[in-house]
Structure 1
Amino acid sequence: MRRIAIAAAATVSVVVLLFSYRTSTDQTPVAATGRPAGGAQPSRTTSPPPAANPSATTGTTGDGTFTGDAADTRYGPVQVRITVAGGRITAADAIDYPQESGRDVRINTEAVPELNQETLQAQSAQIDTVSGATYTSEGYQQSLQSAIDQAHR
């Protein structure tokens, strides 16, 4: 009888510990689609403030069109092309990004235009990440920084 009581107490303790274990510190519930729960549209999350990096801005760039190196992501490469005029980014376009599955198309149809617009506003690679499109956003930032670096040469 004593062994049964000890086994039951141990089982209850283990179950309580399992249910109280938190796997993430992020408090935002995420649905299976990678978007916030409730079917919300992807939204921007705040990135850290821009670092004091001279290559992060376009203040002393040459004019022209510059294509960044393709950045490999978990779902495929992302590549960005920028147009610089008067030392400012006047156009930013993702020319390659994941489109293999319906999910890729659904996510990137919304995320890529937002990233392009964010680039024009920020005038640097220090842009906000689009929620629900983290891999694409990170690849976009890497390729964008590569294009900016080319403009600085």
Structure 2
Amino acid sequence: MVIVPVILVVAGLGGAFLFTAGERSEAKNLPIKSVNFKQLHDGTYVGEYEGGKYKWRANKVQVTVSSRKVTDIKLLEHAKNQSSASTDELFGRVIQKQSLQVDTISGATLTSKAYLKAIEDALDEAQE
């Protein structure tokens, strides 16, 4: 008697896993370009990432550049709930290293890559 509900739960979880596989694969393989931070123009720039296939990781950031260095990054909008501590840590890594080639946040790798993609979008504008 107990086996039928267990089978239904396992089947449901398996179906959900397969349903989200494309989104996870897309986010995992999201390329982050190398940006030359020394070519950035001072100003405040807004960047967005559309969030992938299901828009689960859509976000918008504001990046401040001063003296050709990223000095501040703020999360303006996001579709996925992410703790501010891990977001602040990721943004701090970008500011400290002056690079988008930073370690992602453990346990939030896919969301971290989505935030880096929005920062990349803002920095593309800062180079023009």
Q: TM-score, normalised by structure 2?
A: 0.65
Letter in 2 for 1:138: K
Deviation at residue 120 of structure 1 after TM alignment: 0.7
Letter in 2 for 1:144: I
Q: Please give the secondary structure, in 1, of the residue aligned with 2:70.
A: strand
1:138 to 107, 113, 116: 113
CA deviations 1:52-78 (Å, max 9, x no partner) are x4xx13101111001112331563312
Q: TM-score, normalised by structure 1?
A: 0.55
Gaps of 5+ in 2: 1-31
Work out whether 1:91 is the aligned partner of 2:66.
no
Partner of 1:22: none
CA deviations 1:33-54 (Å, max 9, x no partner) are xxxxxxxxxxxxxxxxx98x4x
Deviation at residue 126 of structure 1 after TM alignment: 1.4
Alpha carbons of 1:129 and 1:98: their partners in 2 closer, same or farther (altered >3 Å)? Answer: same
Letter in 1 for 2:44: T
Partner of 2:125: 150
Alpha carbons of 1:66 and 1:148: their partners in 2 closer, same or farther (altered >3 Å)? Answer: same
Question: 1:71 and 1:128 mapped to 2: Cα distance?
Answer: 22
**Computing the radius of gyration over CA atoms, which structure comes out larger, 1 or 2?**
1
Gaps of 5+ in 1: 1-49
1:79 to 60, 66, 71: 60
CA RMSD of aligned residues (A): 2.1
Deviation at residue 127 of structure 1 after TM alignment: 1.9
Which of the pair is proportionally richer in helix?
2
- Give structure 1 regions of 4+ aligned residues with deviation exceeding 6 angstroms: none
Sequence identity (%): 27
Say if 1:127 and 1:141, in contact at 8 Å, map to a contact too. no
